[in-house]
Amino acid sequence: MEVSRYIEKAIRGDQSAFTFLLDRYWNEVFAFMLKRTENETDAEDITIETFSKAFDKIVAYNPEFQFNTWLIAIAKNVHIDQIRKRKRALFLDINDENDGLAYDVADPAPSPEDKLITEQNLSSLLHCIKQLKPHYQEVIQLRYFQELSYQEIADTLGEPLSNIKVKLLRAKKLLAEIIENKRK
């Protein structure tokens, strides 16, 4: 009964309801996809996209079915789409244009901005951020250090806006857990 109330709130656009649903079902969807993919990164990417699609289409949810069943069905479809994309990618030609992408690797060394932040007593926060997975670090960096809007982040990363919202929500939650654990 409680979940249906949150679903109704989410349909009306209540952000706290989306957060509740994400928190409640994240582990279940992630564990299901981890079993299927046997790859933590893929499972996490699929889970993010699953919630993104589910939240975009929440008005289409049929309450005759369990919410977690609906999420798992979406996750299965996302996984199938991912497999199809990978199969297509195997047949792409490598050319000079694509070859340059291999050299576009992030430098793990602290940037001058990182050093400045460290000097301003924010080294603890940076240490916590660096414990996040690289794709979470990237959205945190773009949002809070480069102060890009959600749409600008989506454009920069070439991902749907809804994926960016879910990634940021998840990144903030994980960062809060890291900070809380550090205080103990």
The per-residue DSSP string of 69-116 comes to: HHHHHHHHHHHHHHHHHHHHHTTPPP-HHHHGGGG-----SPPHHHHH
CATH number at residue 75: 1.10.1740.10
Q: Which domain holds residue 169?
A: 103-183
* Residue finishing a domain among 57, 89, 121: 89
Cα distances (angstroms) measured from residue 141 to each of 136, 172, 175 = 8, 12, 13
User: What percent of the chain stands above pLDDT 70?
Assistant: 80
Task: Let me know whether 79 and 111 are in one domain.
Answer: no
- Domain assignment present for 44: yes
Task: Let me know whether 35 and 70 are in one domain.
Answer: yes
Cα distances (angstroms) measured from residue 87 to each of 74, 80, 165 = 20, 11, 28
CATH number at residue 142: 1.10.10.10
Select from 82, 75, 78, 81 the least CA-distant residue to 28: 75
Task: Let me know whether 83 and 110 are in one domain.
Answer: no
Please check the confidence at residue 90 and state whether its pLDDT lies above 80.
no
- Domain assignment present for 12: yes
Place of tokens 């949150």: 6
pLDDT tens-digit map of 47-83: 999 999 999 899 999 988 899 999 999 999 999 998 8
Task: Let me know whether 45 and 73 are in one domain.
Answer: yes
- Domain assignment present for 55: yes
- Domain assignment present for 33: yes
Q: What is the average per-residue pLDDT within 142-147?
A: 86
Least confident span in 152-156, 163-167, 178-182:
178-182
- Chain mean pLDDT for the chain: 82
**Token couple for 119:** 């000097």
* Residue finishing a domain among 37, 62, 89: 89
Task: Let me know whether 83 and 30 are in one domain.
Answer: yes
Q: So what's the pLDDT on residue 121?
A: 43
Q: Which amino acid is residue 11, in one-letter code?
A: I
- Domain assignment present for 96: no
Cβ 136 vs Cβ 170: under 8 Å: yes
Going 7 to 166 to 175 to 131, the CA torsion angle's sign is positive
Q: So what's the pLDDT on residue 67?
A: 93
CA angle, 79 then 16 then 159, to 5°? 35
Task: Let me know whether 115 and 83 are in one domain.
Answer: no
pLDDT tens-digit map of 12-39: 988 889 989 999 999 999 999 999 999 9
Q: How sure is the predictor about 161, in pLDDT bands with cuts at 50, 70 and 90?
A: confident
- Domain assignment present for 111: yes
